[in-house]
Amino acid sequence: MMNYSIRPAQEADFPAILSIIKELALFEKAPEKVTNSVEQMLEEKDCFRCFVAVNDQNEVLAISLYFFAYYTWVGKSLYLDDLYVREPFRKQGIASALLKKIFDVAREENCKRVRWQVLNWNVNAIKLYEKCGATIDNEWSNCDFDRQGILEFSL
């Protein structure tokens, strides 16, 4: 078992975080969908929070990026946008440790819900989430507009 620690991300971590986001997109078979940049992350840093798992050399091994949302049915919630452990560092408890940190924040912030998405073919992630008690809902579908769609939206 390797040594690692979890800490809040810093601006200096943004290049490594973006690299992991791109690795995640490749894993999810959608690398072309990443349009984010370090510059954009710096501009929008107040919109998200992130924990990083780092080794003794301060190399970023994994991320859990989240933000707060408000859901009409329940109120203040934490949305976990991405939790990803780079492949060489999986099966060492890092994902579980990051999830624990997320739930610590949700309790501290008095959140009424923690929500995230998982691809239906990501069996390892689904097993972890079910093991920790998550309810996986197959009823809802995502509705997305990209930047161009936002600009062109009309009824």
Burial of 90: CB neighbours in 10 Å, binned 0-12, 13-18, 19+: middle
Query: pLDDT value at position 152?
Result: 93
pLDDT category of residue 1 using cuts at 50, 70 and 90 = confident
Q: Which residue has the higher pLDDT, 112 or 141?
A: 112
Angle at the Cα of 46 from the Cα atoms of 41 and 47, rounded to 5 degrees: 75
Which residue ranges form the domains of the chain, and what is each CATH number?
Answer: 5-118 (3.40.630.30)
Angle at the Cα of 63 from the Cα atoms of 53 and 18, rounded to 5 degrees: 120
CA 143 to chain centre: 19
In the predicted model, is pLDDT for residue 137 greater than 90?
no
Mean pLDDT of the chain: 94
Annotated active-site residue in 4, 66, 84, 129: 129
Q: Mean pLDDT across the stretch 55-68?
A: 97
Active site annotation includes 129: yes
Q: Mean pLDDT across the stretch 28-42?
A: 96
* pTM to 2 decimal places: 0.92
